[in-house]
Structure 1
Amino acid sequence: MDAAEKASMTLAKMTQRAGKVFPNYLAFTKEISQVGPIDHKTQELIHIACSVMSQCDMCISLHIQSAASLGASKEEIMQAALLACAMGGSPKIMQMHYVFDELEDLFD
């Protein structure tokens, strides 16, 4: 099971077990992504950088897959991830193996 599948399972369990809290959170995040001048592909590239900064392997996988499905190139995804490394230093560089794995699965 890859990271994206694990994340999907986790989100499904959260929906079942967190009462109204989690659906309200999802509604909040959905509303944020639908309002404003930033297109969805760019939002996903920002999510990639934030995922690397947060050191969340499942998030990295999900957001790279989403960005690619919205037309982001391998180079755009790499730049987003590397921007996080520039801001976060060595701990964020260690997260790049998740980025490389996902890019190999999607683009190579």
Structure 2
Amino acid sequence: MEPAEKATELFRQMNKNRRDVFKAYQSFTSSIKKGSSIEDKYQSLILIACSILSQCDMCISLHVQNAATHGATKDEIIDAGLLAVAMGGSPRMMYMRHIYEEVDKLFD
């Protein structure tokens, strides 16, 4: 199962088992996004960097796909990941493999 599919399954399980918490979380993140002055593409690129720093492979997959959907180029996506590597060092660099896996699926 792909990381994005794993995340979708996790969301389904959370919605089933703790719908109140999951809906509150969705509402919170949705309100941040709606009120933002940052365009969707750039929000996605920021979230890619945050995903690397958080070492979350499912998050990386989702945000790379979302960035591509909002018009980010392969180079922009990779550079967003590399900015996180610059802040987090070599342990974060190991998570770049997830970005390369995703962009290879989306752009090649």
Q: Same fold (TM over 0.5)?
A: yes
User: Equivalent residue for 1:5?
Assistant: 5
**Structure 2 unaligned spans of 5+:** none
User: Equivalent residue for 1:68?
Assistant: 68
User: Equivalent residue for 1:20?
Assistant: 20
Confirm whether residue 93 of structure 1 aligns to residue 93 of structure 2. Answer: yes
Structure 2 CA distance for aligned equivalents of residues 42 and 55 of structure 1: 20
Structure 1 CA distance for aligned equivalents of residues 36 and 30 of structure 2: 12
Indicate the percent of aligned positions where both proteins have the same amino acid: 51
**Structure 1 unaligned spans of 5+:** none
Deviations 1:2-40 (Å, cap 9, x if unpaired)?
110110010111111114111101100000001021011
How many residue pairs match? The answer is 108
Partner letter of residue 81 of structure 2?
A: A
TM-score, structure 1 as length reference: 0.97
Structure 1 CA distance for aligned equivalents of residues 38 and 103 of structure 2: 24
User: Equivalent residue for 2:53?
Assistant: 53
Partner letter of residue 7 of structure 1?
A: A
Structure 2 CA distance for aligned equivalents of residues 6 and 19 of structure 1: 18
Deviations 1:78-108 (Å, cap 9, x if unpaired)?
1100000000001100101111100110111
State the 4+ residue runs in structure 1 displaced beyond 2 angstroms.
none
When the two chains are superposed, the root-mean-square deviation of aligned CA atoms in Å is 0.7
Structure 1 CA distance for aligned equivalents of residues 20 and 55 of structure 2: 27
- What secondary structure does 2:104 align onto? helix
